[in-house]
Structure 1
Amino acid sequence: MIFKVPGKPQGKARARTGYNPKVGKVTSYTPGKTVLYENYIKACYMQTTDVMFDHEEPLSVCINACFEPTKSTSKKQRKRMLNGEVLPTKKPDVDNIVKAVLDALNGLAYKDDTQVINVTANKIYGERAFTEVTIVSIEK
């Protein structure tokens, strides 16, 4: 199962904590930008397929996060980036990208991300920004 999430890859932001006057106590919440991105990942998945892996099935996930060089990048540097000579050592961190993708697919592609026993993730440069996710079942 392979699907793409068009647009700049985003990482999962840390949970925020603050006083909630409605409940009268301090609560933690996921930032709105992260919630929107995870919902976008879900929508992209659902447009591609409605497959849900069996709840006991071990899975392997490969995530390729592709970033566009900025507009201000020189032609020479842009060419080096697109040829893989310069790699994207910038934010978001690869582990936060993985966390956003895996959490978004909980209950949709698989029952829980505890089923994922192998993860491969890469950050690369390309003409267009996107995140490509491949999920495969691992034979027991």
Structure 2
Amino acid sequence: MMKIISFVVPGEPKAKARPRVTRSGIAYTPKDTINYENLVRLSFQTAYPYHTPVQGKVKAEIIAYFSIPKSASKRKMASMVLGEISPMKKPDLDNIAKIILDSLNQIAFKDDSQVTSLRVEKVYSERPCVEVRLVMEE
């Protein structure tokens, strides 16, 4: 049986940051990454409070909507809204996907290794957010 789940993570898209290491050699995850992972989890759990993690294969679609730069001209701004100009700036697509999928481990699915298909896109929008759509086999 197929199950489709869609939810939105509000705010500017963030990337999975690399672990940091203290002078004494202890590795830790940066606070920004932890906060954003918690926001992704909260967004999912608010939309699907009674969901139990699936064990079948998962197809993921992630669309990251970035704010239009304030310095953009009206002509450039219109092109950005129409999708003619895409964000070619950091964060990278793979790091956006990584933070979203890692956040959903043990919540939407048992492990992100179940994701067999992944589509990630970056676009400009007047409302920054990340839209996530998961197609799951139960």
TM-score (structure 2 length as normaliser)? 0.91
Count of residues paired in the alignment: 133
Deviation of residue 18 (structure 1)? Answer: 1.2
Residues 36-80 of structure 1, C-alpha deviation per residue, up to 9 Å, x if partnerless? 00000000001100323422x010000000111112211111001
Residues 64-114 of structure 1, C-alpha deviation per residue, up to 9 Å, x if partnerless? 001111122111110011111111000000000000000100111111111
Q: Which residue of 1 aligns with 2:100?
A: 101
Q: Which residue of 2 aligns with 1:128?
A: 127
In the aligned structure 1, how far is the partner of 2:128 from the partner of 2:35? 17
Task: Give the number of the structure whose alpha-carbon radius of gyration is greater.
Answer: 1
Moved over 3 A (4+): none
Superposition CA RMSD, Å: 1.3
Q: Which residue of 2 aligns with 1:74?
A: 73
Asked if 1:2 corresponds to 2:17, the answer is no
Q: Which residue of 1 aligns with 2:54?
A: 54
In the aligned structure 1, how far is the partner of 2:48 from the partner of 2:70? 34
TM-score (structure 1 length as normaliser)? 0.90
For structure 1, list consecutive stretches of 5 or more residues without a partner in the other structure. Answer: 20-24
